[in-house]
Structure 1
Amino acid sequence: MTHTPAEKTSLTVLGLGAMGTALARTWLAAGHSLTVWNRTPSRAAALGEEGAAVAGSVSDAVAANRLVVACLLDDASIGEALAGVGLAGKDLVNLTTSTPAEARTRAAWAHERGARYLDGGIMAVPPMIGVPEAAGYVFYSGSRELFEQHRETLGVPAGTRYVGEDAAFAALHDVALLSAMYGMFAGVSHAFALIRDEDIDPVTFAPLLADWLVAMAPSVHQTAEHLRTGDYTQGVVSHLGMQVAGIPTFLSTAEEQKVSPELVSPFFELMRRRLAEASGDESLTGVVDLLRR
């Protein structure tokens, strides 16, 4: 008996910027029948030569397939591109960067038009798409039924992580992780500024900094456990009181090195505020509560 592989899902991709093109090319390479549309038609030409069907209008692109993946500039672009386009019976997967509130609103907008909806947050840059060893992935939230039906297809360009029925959760996970990244970048910038005018090779310093950040990363698990239990003192080694006592050293060092403390001072101020109203024996977790006020 000859084994016949399962038929691959055909789909439409709206938006052919760097990310949209990377997604489209990966689906094409995997053997999926693909229809593409871009506001600037010339960007679709190369994909047309590679086997994609190039739609002349967004309406034609949406009509071509049940599964429609949008990867446009922003949430407003989704509304503009799909205004007046029939979505009844369609499965709309929105990989356009948006806020949680925008995702919830867009989900309701899609449902009013008879479509099932998934929101996505891409944790990768275009060169990571279609490269499994790069470990990129996409957060998905919204219709679980829709996600499960298309899980295999959605997993072709990058890994998939479903984070809940609430359409906002993919965007929220995305922005939360990226916000932590920018906080790390701020600390890295301050560290390099401190050594910038000294006879210290930044290339030699870099692995020390990277290794230290890796060593500190597991502290997020303690923070999570403290938030879950409400006990901010459990297992604490470097408590809040001790860390606040060290702040003058960091600020004085910045002054001596002629480095602005503007990247670190806001966090130090939060630490001091927390100490003024809580136990010095707790961790830094209480800063989370200050930020929520």
Structure 2
Amino acid sequence: MTQNLSDTASKASPAPLTLLGLGAMGTALAGAWLAAGHPLTVWNRTAARAEPLAARGAVVAATAAEAVAANRLVVVCLLDDDSVEEALAGADLTGRDVVNLITSTPGTARARAAWATGRGARYLDGGIMAVPPMIGVPQAGPYVFYSGSQELFEEHRAALAAPADARYVGADAGLAALYDVALLSAMYGMLGGVAHAFALVRGESVDPRALAPLLSSWLSAMTGSVAATAEQLVAGDYTGGVVSNLAMQVAGVPTFLRTAEEQGVSPELLTPYFELMQRRLAADPARHGVEDLTGVIDFLRP
């Protein structure tokens, strides 16, 4: 049986692409693409950062416009949206596929998508769920959310997936940024709790290294509540499958605050959430007291 020649060529020749920006993340992405055999053109404001990549076979462009002109697929990994505006200001984007991997807001991503399509490009926004050492290491679990042009995503899926798993989340260009910030926001909430926990034992005869595995295992066990919260939000009923109701948890708040006071620890990382719990209960004790903690979400979106 003869194999389709275009399929053979596609498998044998990884697609060429351009990368703008060689900070820590950009350099990691570049290394992963080169390791996967993709012909790569790079540009960075500080040209010296490109030298190690040039030694590995990357083509170094003198200007961003020159780098954009080199390939149809153009990946942007710069500091912020202003940097994207400045770098691409003099580039001809007609017929280009622009993939923007900066960390931004949903609104900024939508505005940049409109800007790019207005200049003749297809556009995809991305949210990287990884730190640089995870890039190009599949077992580390890195992935990138993508939103915007589905045609662009499908056409370049193989190249986009070389550094990290590629997950398309919708045609709305702002969705990747929304998913990105939602997950990172949850991370910071968790880290705030971890900081408070370590602060409580600091100064006592407790080795933080002994507390660490206990914290990790406890937080892992509590992640089961995430799926339960989602189900309650969809159902519109916050009483399903409740294990520890709101009234009971609010009753325990003074203990947490007194413990922090006794240990000389500021409760500022916990009090905003406790206050939402108390407000939810006070609004209708009979109704909300039997609910899960899901109701606090309604107070965040009045």
TM-score (normalizing by structure 2): 0.95
Q: Give 1:243's aligned residue.
A: 249
Question: Structure 1: how far apart are the matches of 2:13 and 2:56?
Answer: 20
The offset of 1:200, in angstroms, is: 1.2
CA offsets, 1:235-267, max 9 Å, x none? Answer: 101000000000011111111111111110111
Deviations 1:2-49 (A, max 9, x none): 976442110000001111011011111111111000011111111111
Q: Residue 19 of structure 2: SS of its match in structure 1?
A: strand
Give aligned-pair identity as a percent. Answer: 68
AA partner of residue 58 (structure 1): A
Task: Provide the C-alpha distance between the structure 2 equivalents of 1:44 and 1:156, rounded to a whole number of angstroms.
Answer: 20
The 2-side partners of 1:31 and 1:265 are apart by: 52
User: For the residues of structure 2 that align with 1:8 and 1:206, how far apart are their CA atoms?
Assistant: 43
Write out aligned runs for 1:202-217 (5 A).
202-217=208-223
Offset of residue 84 of structure 1:
2.6
Cα RMSD after superposing both structures: 1.2
Question: Which residue in 2 is equivalent to 1:21?
Answer: 27
Which residue of 258, 263, 284 maps to 2:269? Answer: 263
Using the TM superposition, give the Cα deviation of residue 150 of structure 1 relative to its aligned residue in structure 2, in angstroms.
0.6
Equivalent residue in structure 2 for 1:85, among 75, 91, 95:
91
Corresponding position of 1:51: 57
Separation (CA, whole Å) in 1 of partners of 2:25 and 2:214 = 33
SS in 2 for 1:163: strand
2:156 match: secondary structure: helix
Secondary structure of the structure 1 residue equivalent to 2:126: strand
Distance, in Å, in 2 between the alignment partners of 1:84 and 1:209 is 51
User: Cα distance, 1:276 vs. partner?
Assistant: 1.1
1:187 equivalent in alignment to 2:193: yes
**Shift of the alpha carbon at 1:201?**
1.2
Counterpart amino acid of residue 157 in structure 1: P
Gaps (5+ residues) in structure 1?
A: none
Which letter does structure 2 place at the counterpart of 1:78? V
Deviation at 1:85, TM superposition (A): 1.3
* Counterpart-to-counterpart distance in 2, 1:98 and 1:205: 35
What is the aligned partner in structure 2 of residue 150 from structure 1? Answer: 156
Partner amino acid for 2:143? Y
Instruction: Give the whole-Å Cα distance in 1 for the aligned partners of 2:47 and 2:79.
Output: 16
1:140 offset after TM fit, Å?
A: 0.3
Q: Once superposed, which parts of structure 1, at least 4 consecutive aligned residues long, lie more than 2 Å away? A: 1-7
In the alignment, does 2:299 pair up with 1:290? yes
What are the residue-to-residue correspondences of 1:273-284 with 2, within 5 Å? Answer: 273-278=279-284, 279-284=288-293
Q: Which residue of structure 1 lines up, in the alignment, with residue 13 of structure 2?
A: 7
Q: Which residue pairs with 2:179 in the alignment?
A: 173
Aligned counterpart for 1:123 among listed residues 108, 129, 132: 129
- Count, aligned residues: 293
Q: Distance in 1 between matches of 2:29 and 2:240?
A: 45
SS of residue in 2 equivalent to 1:263: coil
Structure 1: distance between partners of 2:40 and 2:212: 44
| Alpha-carbon separation, structure 2, partners of 1:46 and 1:199 | 48
- In the other structure, the counterpart of 1:72 is 78
Kindly indicate whether residue 118 of structure 2 is the aligned counterpart of residue 112 of structure 1.
yes
